[in-house]
Structure 1
Amino acid sequence: MTFKFFDKLSQDFSELINDKKEYNVIIEVDRERNKKFFTAHSVVLRHRSPYFDKELENATASENHIKTIVEPSISAQIFEVILKYIYGGMINIENTDIRTIYELMVSANELELEELSVKLESYLIESKASWLRTHFSLVYHSIFDSNEFNGLKKFYNDIIAKHPNLVFESGDFTSLQETALVSILKRDDLQVEETKIWDYVIKWGISQNPTLPTNSEEWSNENFMTLKMTLQHCLPLIHYFHIPGKDIWKNIKPYEKILEKQLWDDMILHSISPNEPINSLVLPARIISSPESSSRIISAPNCSLTPNLPSRVVSTPNLTSTLNLTSTPNLTSTLDLPSNAYPRSGILSMTFSTIINKEHVAELSSWIDRKSTTYSLSDITYEFQLILRGSRDGFHPKTFWNMCHGYAGTIVVARVVGTDEIVGGYNPIIWDKNSIGRMETKDSFIFSLKNGKIQNSILSRVKNDRLALHYHNDKNIYGPYFGDCEFIMKSEVSDFTQDEQCSCFSFRKFYEKSIKTNGKFSIVDYEVFLIIKK
């Protein structure tokens, strides 16, 4: 007979975490002010994680025979949970917000803790499918950087097959990883016309080669060969023989040189004589369902893949609190978008904002669409969904980064202390709290809005996209930062309302014009909105 005492074993090993006598590894996690050091034991790390086994093999020991491993991309909060799992084999996620669980899954995968990563992936699909849908952009981009997360990849590709504009019509479509695009193109149930698929693929391929001439008529043979090599894994997945003849001449002929000659000849022959035999592989027509089945497709503005809901969503306490790491994951999930997956912001409500009104929304919407005239209130093309309000959520710069992380296509508006001025900026790309440095985009702009004594609004578009935005490394001081301090929210005391460090300097280096008289200021309040296409 065998007696098993796993609970006691787990408890005893967990207590080793706090043992400062025999440790021989220091793990440094997080960045700057949040930096934290954990002690551990190499024998435990080596046997629990192939990743740590390799890191320890390459690490140099100090005079005290202690090795140090640095993991700046993992937060202290996440690593503490991971360390408890490594030593004790259990994690408690009761009252843990869903975004943290997601980040825990990603970190576990990076550290090659497959058991934990797979279990969390299964948990999210089975229990948090709604959150996964509404945080499409945040999750979808990151999972295709890895060879793992096959369950999540299938989950999202099933949604994209029904609602392809979530990807194809998004502003950051061209930043999609090749592996993600290929996995989408392999779907025979992709609900989009083949001509449009071709156009999207060409658009993606050109964007990967920014040195190509803007006008394809000016391309050299070398230019076409560059595009062909970029799209070598995508081109075989186009269902060419289901593209109408008129579209072959209009859409495909300009790029004939990236196709094999036999394929091009067969396409022409098939368009003229559909019953003639051809030599090229003929892929079947994609299965496109009736219009009713796609009536709930959500379109996106020129920004992110799809709207994310605020990160303040939390898990319900009475759900699973301790993960059992022995069960086999069931990756089955319901894939139809629920009616409340993309909640309306109530734009017609007079309380949607404490800073801007419906006339401002009309003006901002027209600027996003680059219209020469302002939309009427009945023709506004976007809804503004509130992500953050300083007076509700706090004025610490890090609050901005935590709550806006993962969102793209957002507008920041701020009311200046002592004046009627409302200043702000539009960022079409993703706010990423983990990124540092210059961010490029051709579609951002900064502005001031007419209000009270301010008679005219000012629109200032980016003119040098090399520094459209700056994601500063010190996110305890710096919030949104456009151009060279041409609109910046900053506070040395971690409160935008206190020390007059916000500014809108008129350097005009990266934006067309100044949106405010020179000088530093504090704000009364500020808001961040996600812009959602109606």
Structure 2
Amino acid sequence: MIDNKLLPKLSQNLLEILEDEEYYNITIEVGNDPYKNDETLINIKLPNILPETFQIILRYIYGGKLPLEEYDISDIIKILNHHHQMNEIQVWEHVIKWGLAQNPELPSDPTNFSKDDFNTLKNTLQQCIPYIKFRNLTSKEFLKKVKPYRKALPKGLYNDLLEYFSDNDYDQTKKSEPQIVKEIKSKNIDSKIITNQHVEIISRWIDRLKNKDKLTNSYEFKLLYHDNRDEPGVNRIKKFHEACDNKPRTIIVIKVKDRNEIFGGYNPIEWKSDKSYGITKDSFIFSFSNDSTENYVLSRVNDETKAVCNCAYLGPSFGYKDLCLSINLGGNIIIKCKKMNYEEQIIGNSDVLFLDFFEEYLIIYGEKLSLEEHGVSDIIKILVAANELSLQELIPDLESFLIENKNSWIEQNFDLLYQTSFENNSFLEL
């Protein structure tokens, strides 16, 4: 019999060979990097396996051990997904089994779960959920295996899946195909954080539509402020307020430092710096994870008296701490996410994170106002109404139209126009 001391030593020697990059005669390509041909080597291509996942598996092949405690649960899920003998429902069952094992106080039967039990499991599975390809399940598997744990899933995700599997046109032969989100018909968004697909989803949320509903309005996301991560935190907060205060209907999108996540929120009213709470029933916050528009959490305000928090030393903040940008003692901007005044927490396993950078957008209705159809007096009335309704983004277009197309009328009615401009300080061009 081989001495038990020999095997660990042999495994260690093999691992040292693995880590030695000097001598090799086989290359194994994983991921989707461009193929480089080398006729002197045996080349194996595995494009569907992530490089970091394959590195873990290689260490198991060479060393005979897989120290799972050293890896994040997300890495373990990736290994399960790349195991060709394991289908998606088996991955889901293993994830649930693991989640229950982390919380032995939970009942084994989800029908006996309390609200707190579901929240506990939800927080435990937070990092796993984005890696589950739920759309690869059959309708029967979804209803039997996933639905009982629906309260442990992000609300938006479960509603989308329920709609997906309940669709009469659902074709089982196409269940493995990824969902394609049609891009919004507008200008490409000027963003380093979100894409046009994010814009379309957020636009639906503004109109309280489901993800499959047809857009009733077209919105343009006009960049108001792009944060500079290299500046001191105090300066960044100050510049945000200078650029965005007193402007209604804005969206903030936030890039989290060292995490593949996007946070954000919609504020239909104005930002201010007066240590007050803004009141609205239409604000919401959200998160997207793992570069996917399918993995998200949408949380609407449930205490409209504390929808947004206005303070000069805070960045854009929603609720008391539901989504708050503040400065820590080290001068860095941190993100606080703790369920207080919104429906649910947009992140499960931590309530304080570090900010990378953020962007703020003004939401502009995409429909055009045909000014040629209106007389000058009507346009003046529209100007006044736009000012009273805080439609600041509309005023420059109206002013430019008058200056460029109605110059003779302006000269003939200078007194009237002067009085109107004097009474409305927003008419700067006139």
Q: Tell me, yes or no, whether TM beats 0.5.
A: no
TM-score normalised by length of structure 2: 0.38
Higher Cα Rg, which structure:
2
Higher relative contact order, chain-length normalized (CA < 8 Å, sep 6+): 1
